[in-house]
Structure 1
Amino acid sequence: MASIPNLNTLRTGRGGPRLRGSRRGGRGASSLGDDASDSADVASKDRIIQSTDYDASSSRLSALELGYLTDPYAKAFLKPGEQIPRRYPIINRGTYVRSTAIDKLVLRFLQAEPGIRKQIISLGAGSDTRYLRIVGDHAGQDGVVYHELDFETNVAAKKAVIERSPALADRLQKMKDGGCSYHLHSVDLRDLPSSLPGIETDLPTLILSECCLCYMPPEQATTAVKYFNDRITSPIGLVIYEPVRPFDAFGRTMVSNLASRGIHMQTLKRYSSLDAQRQRLKMAGFDKQGARDVHQIWETDAWVSEAERERVERLEWLDEVEEWQLLASHYCIAWGWKGQTFDSAWGGIEGARTSAEDRDDELG
């Protein structure tokens, strides 16, 4: 294939997937000029990173407009006069699977052990509306502490949307009145401060990373996870959505296409398979781990019921079945945890290694 679309986006002419925290590996600078050049290079890459939240928002709006998803708050992020873009069917289906699967993990966490106050930390959240959509309806009587971390530019843009949207402001106020606490942090995950305002270290905590950590060097991604793992003294879990399988023909083409646009998924080769993702979570200190690719999730009744698959299939005619299967098998959701709260929430979800993964070992 000449061009392989990303599950998160299909853009024409410019850009790429939603990025968070990308920085080129350092090199020794022999002069002030080299330092300035490196700084300009990093700043340029960061501007691309900051702007790509548009991709995720556009793909979500496309899926919403066609009935794949329900989200009463997403349209607030449309610019005045902006039309909702139309993505290809495989993109819409991928957006659906990604969103609903992560929502399921979040809901199970919120519903586990009723009466216990909980905390969610979303890395590179951008224009995501999960706090408004999910937490607002399932926070329970004790409320939820919710943190979103992103670049200052993206945080400022989100604050501006909230300020000009009475519906969003009203929803946030009602959630605050109900005991929820919402924090927007302007931070760089590559250089986290010694503490973040509002983090409650004694609450069961769920960390979300959707196409975020994969754009950081592996060591920095590990450090970012360790930052929270070291501070949270209660049960803690992590959900990751990332690309996998870069070594087969499809994966090599995908990586090449992204690289031609200056996009490098820096953790991809190290965590190239579902099992590598599980081992990553284990090494990070999570006692239990699970992983499934997007195609497996779509095909599994425990994630997407037969009736729901039939409903989604009726929304659009999808004739690129082989392309869908290839694309969906190159993205995954991995989850890891330690502590009773997550045992209750996720213990029954099947995420162990399957025999079909043997091919990953052969390619890796």
Structure 2
Amino acid sequence: MSAPSIPNLLSTRGSRGGGRGGRRGRGGRSSSSASSRNHDTIIQGTDTDAAVSRMSAVELGYLEDPFAQYFVQRPAVAAGAVTRRLPIINRGTYVRTMALDRLISSFLSGIGQGQGQERQVISLGAGTDTRCFRLFSQPAQAGLVYHEIDFPAVASKKLQLVKDVPLLRNIMPDPASEAETWKQLLQNGCRYYCHGLDLRDLTKPDSKSLDGLRTDIPTLLISECCLCYLETAQAKDVIKHFTDKIPTLSIILYEPIKPDDPFGRQMVSNLAGRHIRMPTLDDYKNSEQQHARLVEAGFEQVREMTVEEIWRTWIPEEEKERVDGLEGLDEVEEWNLIAGHYIVAWAWRGQGFEAWDGITG
């Protein structure tokens, strides 16, 4: 996804070269339509921050992503002035990306193999996420169906960028546009769909099913700080939209938690200062409530870990040494505090998820 920086709610210290860590979100209506539109615009704008955070982590050697450079403002890249985030933010971007890469790789390589090679990924609020390009540039992803959903303006901008950049165009050649959906038939039987759609419209009674959606193959639903921008009832309805249709279904959530302790209250205050709300944060405040949320949604098995726990248990010691050597991190206590306020939760129902069941450390 588009590499949200860990302190996106809470960093008041800024970054080297300006700007703050951010993340695109998709939703969050307020009482009036005017303020709702304004909030949507603000949330869409945070995707720019997310792209810069990802590029910062790539430029400094935390991550490898040859596509990240195309999703930051080109004048800044040409001038060599890509914003460098603080070390604590770069580490957060790195850990979140590594965690989701591990879970998604496990899904693609080990889940549903007894049912054939076809698998499906649905990325909610995809924004400038580059994962689809990274996956489709790998020859091993035969039979992958990949959906991205975002506001029409965001999806249209991404489509235009693919048309303009040869490296991206070589991965996604000859786009075929129909209405608000851009669809591709790629090599090895892969399919890609970019849907220009407000998630809140997806759950309306008269809404049509997503073009190309498969209900008969193992599916992974991904929400990286996306559903948290919706009202709680809307977020539930989005998940239900897919649980009602797809029997063999899994989900990955990346969201903030603990809004009521001193650090969490500062997070929420900083959000409010940017005119951003995360309504579900009031209802899913901790690991237990995130767990219960997914059980209530109909998933049979649920796991969750904070970003701090993932750093301690998933990242090998030699890799930690490499990351530490990139910049050094003096604020270890602050890192533990920040990383403890973000969670990755994953859940599933159906057969063939043994690989996920074994991911604990």
> 2:250 & 2:72 partners in 1: Cα distance?
32
Tell whether 2:308 aligns with 1:306: no
Change (3 A) 1:175 1:200: closer
Instruction: Report how far residue 98 of structure 1 moved.
Output: 0.4
> 1:344 & 1:331 partners in 2: Cα distance?
25
Do 2:229 and 2:277's aligned partners in 1 also have CA atoms closer than 8 Å? yes
Instruction: Report how far residue 15 of structure 1 moved.
Output: 7.5
Do 1:117 and 1:143's aligned partners in 2 also have CA atoms closer than 8 Å? yes
Tell whether 2:254 aligns with 1:204: no
Instruction: Report how far residue 42 of structure 1 moved.
Output: 1.4
* Residue in 1 that maps onto 2:177: none
Q: TM-score, normalised by structure 2?
A: 0.87
For structure 1, the 5+ residue unaligned runs are 27-37, 352-364
> 1:326 & 1:51 partners in 2: Cα distance?
26
Do 1:205 and 1:237's aligned partners in 2 also have CA atoms closer than 8 Å? yes
Offset from partner CA, 1:316-362 (integer Å, 9 cap, x none): 12111111111100011000100122x223010229xxxxxxxxxxx
Q: TM-score, normalised by structure 1?
A: 0.86
Do 2:222 and 2:252's aligned partners in 1 also have CA atoms closer than 8 Å? yes
Matches within 5 A, 1:133-148: 133-137=134-138, 139-140=140-141, 142-148=142-148
> 1:87 & 1:14 partners in 2: Cα distance?
8
The sequence identity of aligned pairs, in percent, is 48
Which of 300, 305, 310 aligns to 1:292? It is 305
Do 1:8 and 1:95's aligned partners in 2 also have CA atoms closer than 8 Å? no
Instruction: Report how far residue 150 of structure 1 moved.
Output: 0.2
Tell whether 2:235 aligns with 1:221: yes
* Residue in 1 that maps onto 2:192: 182
RMSD, aligned α-carbons: 2.1
> 2:107 & 2:21 partners in 1: Cα distance?
32
Change (3 A) 1:175 1:84: farther
Change (3 A) 1:5 1:238: closer
Using the TM superposition, name which of 191-200 and 168-177 deviates more. Answer: 168-177
One-letter identity of the residue aligned with 2:192? Y
One-letter identity of the residue aligned with 2:350? G
Instruction: Report how far residue 7 of structure 1 moved.
Output: 7.6
Matches within 5 A, 1:260-279: 260-279=273-292
> 1:116 & 1:307 partners in 2: Cα distance?
34
* Residue in 1 that maps onto 2:180: none
Using the TM superposition, name which of 86-95 and 7-16 deviates more. Answer: 7-16
> 1:291 & 1:139 partners in 2: Cα distance?
28
> 1:251 & 1:180 partners in 2: Cα distance?
42
SS of 1:240 mapped into structure 2: strand
Using the TM superposition, name which of 10-19 and 154-163 deviates more. Answer: 10-19
Tell whether 2:91 aligns with 1:93: yes
Using the TM superposition, name which of 322-331 and 12-21 deviates more. Answer: 12-21
Change (3 A) 1:289 1:6: same
Offset from partner CA, 1:193-224 (integer Å, 9 cap, x none): 33110101111100000000011111100000
SS of 1:24 mapped into structure 2: coil
One-letter identity of the residue aligned with 2:69? K
Instruction: Report how far residue 96 of structure 1 moved.
Output: 0.2
* Residue in 2 that maps onto 1:57: 51
SS of 1:250 mapped into structure 2: helix
Tell whether 2:163 aligns with 1:163: yes
* Residue in 2 that maps onto 1:249: 262
Offset from partner CA, 1:240-276 (integer Å, 9 cap, x none): 0000011111111111121122111111121111111
Change (3 A) 1:175 1:315: farther
Instruction: Report how far residue 170 of structure 1 moved.
Output: 0.7
Offset from partner CA, 1:22-59 (integer Å, 9 cap, x none): 32343xxxxxxxxxxx2221111111122211111110
Do 1:15 and 1:261's aligned partners in 2 also have CA atoms closer than 8 Å? no
For structure 2, the 5+ residue unaligned runs are 1-5, 174-183
> 2:121 & 2:75 partners in 1: Cα distance?
34
> 2:27 & 2:209 partners in 1: Cα distance?
22
> 2:355 & 2:139 partners in 1: Cα distance?
14
* Residue in 1 that maps onto 2:355: 345
